[in-house]
Amino acid sequence: MTKPVGVQIKRLPHGHGLDLPAYATEGSAGMDVLAAESVTIKPGQRHAVATGLSVAIPENYEIQVRPRSGLAFKHGITVPNTPGTIDSDYRGELKVLLINHGTDDFAIQRGDRVAQLVLAPVTQAKWEEVDELSETVRGEGGFGSTGGHAKLA
Q: Which is nearer to ligand DUT, 5 or 145 (by Cβ)?
A: 5
CB contact at 8 A, 31 and 51: no
**95 scored as a contact of ligand DUT (CB under 6 A):** yes
**87 scored as a contact of ligand DUT (CB under 6 A):** yes
Q: Which is nearer to ligand DUT, 80 or 141 (by Cβ)?
A: 80
Size of the site for ligand DUT (CB under 6 A): 10
CA distances from 50 to 40, 44, 63, 88 (A): 13, 19, 16, 19
**15 scored as a contact of ligand DUT (CB under 6 A):** no
> DSSP secondary structure string, 133-148?
PPP-SSTT--SSTT--
Residues 17-76 that bind ligand DUT (CB under 6 A): 65
Nearest approach, Cβ of residue 140 and ligand DUT (Å) = 30
| Piece of the chain touching ligand DUT by CB under 6 A; list 88-96, 103-111, 118-126, 137-145 | 88-96
Nearest approach, Cβ of residue 100 and ligand DUT (Å) = 16
CB contact at 8 A, 33 and 51: yes
Q: Which is nearer to ligand DUT, 53 or 102 (by Cβ)?
A: 53
Per residue, the 3-state secondary structure of 79-105, as one string, reads CCCCCEEECCCCCCCCEEEEEECCCCC
CB contact at 8 A, 54 and 46: no
Q: C-alpha angle 62/63/67, rounded to 5°?
A: 145
Taking every pair of Cα atoms in the chain, the longest distance, rounded to a whole number of angstroms, is: 60
Nearest approach, Cβ of residue 59 and ligand DUT (Å) = 14
Q: Provide the binding-site residues for ligand DUT, judged by CB under 6 A.
A: 65, 81, 84-87, 90, 94-95, 97
